[in-house]
Amino acid sequence: MRCFFCKGGLEKGTTTHVVTLEKCIIIVKNVPCTRCTQCGESFFDDEVAIQLEEIVKSFSSSMMEITVVNYAGRAA
């Protein structure tokens, strides 16, 4: 598998995913991803993308302005 953008090499890692909603910001830490060693673009597996959607959905009604979630803890 090669980078979709620059065809660079990819490596496994984790990233911090930030979602900005109308009323709040959701920060998901330790999200597993595949990152391009050349341009730094990161990609999520389908499974991870679905999980992220679920996390955002469950916290989107939160009254807190900023929510920090640990992906590793949520996905277990």
Would you count residue 70 as binding Zn ion (CB under 5 A)?
A: no
Closest CA to 68 of 31, 22, 41: 31
Would you count residue 37 as binding Zn ion (CB under 5 A)?
A: no
Would you count residue 38 as binding Zn ion (CB under 5 A)?
A: yes
Would you count residue 36 as binding Zn ion (CB under 5 A)?
A: yes
Q: Please, where are the H alpha helices in 8-45?
A: none
Which one of the spans 9-17, 41-49, 57-65, 66-74 is the region binding Zn ion (CB under 5 A)? 41-49
Q: Is 17:28 a contact under the CB 8 Å cutoff?
A: yes
Reading the block at residue 64, the tokens are 């807190």
Cα angle, residue 12 at apex, residues 76 and 56 outer, rounded to 5°:
45
Q: Which of 5, 47, 50, 57 touches Zn ion by CB under 5 A?
A: 5
Would you count residue 55 as binding Zn ion (CB under 5 A)?
A: no
Would you count residue 68 as binding Zn ion (CB under 5 A)?
A: no
